[in-house]
Structure 1
Amino acid sequence: MKKIVVLGSTNVDTILNIKRLPLPGETMAMDGQSSAGGGKGANQALAATRAGAETSFVSKIGDDHAADFMLDTFKKDGLNIDHVTETSKAGTGKAYILLDENGQNSILIYGGANQTISIDDINAAKETIKKSDCLISEFETPISVTIEAFKIAKENGVITILNPAPAKDNIPLDLLKLTDIIVPNETEASAITGIKVEDKKSIINSAEKLNKMGINRVIITIGSRGSLYYSEGKEEFVDAYKVPVIDTTAAGDTFIGYLAAKLDSDLGNVVEAMKFASKASSIAVQTKGAQNSIPYVEDVKI
């Protein structure tokens, strides 16, 4: 069984259902609201678990009811939470998701406890990282902590996957050089490279620039159009599955968790893993919410 470690955020999501995004200064009525488990790290960890991998999660939560809610979810799925620790310095992270009637979302994040993860937490999880096949991280926790975790991974032959989200334009080169596979969407790729991702040519140009920045393998997800794999001058597009879209929340996280669970240790099957991940994402977008939309492996058939 594949062993995966995810370093990342734990949030409780509040989903606000609206017809469209409000204009500046506009007051709008909502069509409804609901709460669910979220956080990019937690989503990716649960996706990897549901994809069949033995997954450990490194995260920080507050001393509050939101934390209890999230821990119950993790335990139910069999996620290893030995390194999910509690702090009294901040509350459990929260996300407020504006979801329009077309299934598109805009998200506001309160980092909370996620921003208190420290290098001490990484050192406590060191042996778990060393024994894993793959380490995943994103940008809802401090970058300095991710760099330390990736150093441990690379020293021990562990594959590193970076999801550069939320988008940043000043990622330390030290982190990029420690990354085996980077998985941005169009917005994130544009922020990193300065190349506006609009069409096939600009997607390839953006991926090529990421290659030159020190990352040998680039996967750019492009929503309903699918995803691009680029490595050392060669590219391959993977089409998305055409399905009715209800909510895109956690679709990217589902993709990354399933991708990691499918990858071979020599990374020789990246495109095959992308197709598997794309199928899982196509299932996720057909259900409202984040973690409740992430499918189980027995439902993902290609």
Structure 2
Amino acid sequence: MTNRVTVIGSLNVDTILEIPRLPKPGETLAMHNQSFAGGGKGSNQGIAAGRAGADTHFIGKIGDDTNGQFMINSMKDSGINVDQVTVTKDAKTGQAFILLDDEGQNSILVYGGANQKLNVDDVKNAEATIANSDFIITQFETPMDVAEAAFKTAKANDVVTILNPAPARQAIPASLLAVSDLVVPNETESQTLTGIEITDEASMVKAANKMHDMGAKCVIITVGSKGAFYHTVSGDTGFVDAFKVKAVDTTAAGDTFIGALSSQLNKDMSNLTDAIRFANRASSITVQRMGAHPSIPTLAEIEAAEAAAK
């Protein structure tokens, strides 16, 4: 059965600047290359869900500009329903500027633009879309009150909520976490949220328990090339190792994980470890390619990689 996934979040056009290393303060550094791609944490997660087989809808906002149309086309090309993506004349389409070094690590500067114009009325207009979903995903590149309104609508309709607390913020309303079924931070975001440094599995358990105390039902902490740790409020816990590959660009790896996870996860999370393994496989493909949208794999590619490993 195909999962129905709704993503509410950001749409950005990424400018990727390939550099040997990050420049020091006051330093001028030559670039290897410059390229453009669709991105934004929200749209990355939506495309990852859609390409991995989910029936995916997107709620977001773009500017009245060519970048906005570029993003609409990019989403449609991956089979994403964009009926709930609206246009504002008050801001330009979101953008991100990605500094990518020779080791495949990145630093990202984000212009929120139209993403910050998304509002609670947009959620109300999309109530039927949310109510008809199995899962809804959001992040923090759009306003917090919008995320909470969407999750409350979801919970009123038995829709499973997935919160990616990124970019990291310390002040997250308890009312939002209380309606978050699954919280998926990376280790940095987990530390920002809980104040607990992630150094080993014991610290992950401690951080997860603190998130449970805040209201989260299930926690997955992604740890880059190591894999993903999971912990449920009932005490189920474990670590699913990542697949060993050579990364050339880690952009969208975490977003691919979340989108791919939502495409496979059962609503009761009874197949949590299998869904995490699938998401790890999808992310391992993403990091071997350049860009955000261009790097996100299809279901056929994920299944082929899994078959080749056996």
The answer to whether the superposition gives a TM-score over 0.5 is: yes
Q: Distance in 1 between matches of 2:169 and 2:77?
A: 34
Q: 2:283 aligns with which of 277, 281, 299?
A: 281
Counterparts in 2 of 1:1-302, with a 5 A limit?
1-232=2-233, 233-301=235-303, 302=306
Whole-Å Cα distance in 2 between the matches of residues 217 and 155 of structure 1?
19
The alignment partner of 1:98 has SS state of strand
Question: For 1:300, what is the secondary structure of its paired residue?
Answer: helix
Letter in 2 for 1:284: T
Distance 1:234 1:264, change over 3 A: closer
CA distance in 1, matches of 2:78, 2:216: 33
Q: Percent identity?
A: 54
Task: Give 1:24 deviation, angstroms.
Answer: 1.9
Describe the superposition over 1:154-192 as per-residue Cα deviations: whole angstroms up to 9, x where unpaired. 011000000000000000000000000000001100000
- Compute the displacement of 1:25 (Å): 2.1
Residue aligned with 2:37, SS: strand
Structure 2 Cα separation of the partners of residues 117 and 193 of structure 1: 27
- 1:231 deviation in Å? 1.3
Give 1:40 deviation, angstroms: 0.5
What's the offset of the Cα at 1:201? 2.2
**What code does the residue aligned with 2:272 have?**
V
- Could you tell me which amino acid in structure 1 is paired with residue 278 of structure 2? F
SS in 2 for 1:103: coil
Shift of 1:208: 1.8
User: C-alpha offsets along residues 208-236 of structure 1, whole Å, 9 cap, x if unaligned?
Assistant: 21112111200000000101001133320
3-state SS, counterpart of residue 257 of structure 2: helix
What letter corresponds to residue 78 of structure 2 in structure 1? D
TM-score (norm 1): 0.98
Q: Hey, what's the Cα distance between the residues in 2 that align with 1:204 and 1:244?
A: 29
SS in 2 for 1:101: coil
Output the CA distance in 2 between the equivalents of 1:281 and 1:82: 28
CA distance in 2, matches of 1:72, 1:135: 22
Shift of 1:76: 1.4
Q: What CA deviation, in whole Å up to 9, does each residue of 1:25-70 have, x standing for no partner?
A: 2221111110100000000111110011110000000011101111
Runs of 5+ in structure 1 lacking a partner? none
How far off is 1:199 after superposition? 2.3
**Residues in 2 aligned to 1:216 and 1:49: alpha-carbon distance in whole angstroms:** 25
Deviations 1:102-137 (A, max 9, x none): 100010000000000011100010001001100000
Query: Which stretches of structure 1, 4 residues or longer, exceed 2 Å deviation after superposition?
Result: 198-201
Structure 2 gaps, min length 5: none
**Matched AA of 1:137:** T
C-alpha separation in 2, matches of 1:150 and 1:112 = 23
1:63 and 1:29 map into 2 onto residues whose CA distance is 33
CA deviation after TM superposition for structure 1 residue 200, in Å: 2.3
SS at match of 1:4: strand
- CA distance in 2 between counterparts of 1:200 and 1:178 reads 26
Give the match's secondary structure for 2:57.
strand
Distance in 2, Cα, partners of 1:76 & 1:23: 39
SS for the counterpart of 1:165 is coil
> Structure 2-normalised TM-score?
0.96
Partners of 1:190 and 1:23 in 2: CA distance: 26
Q: How many residues align?
A: 302
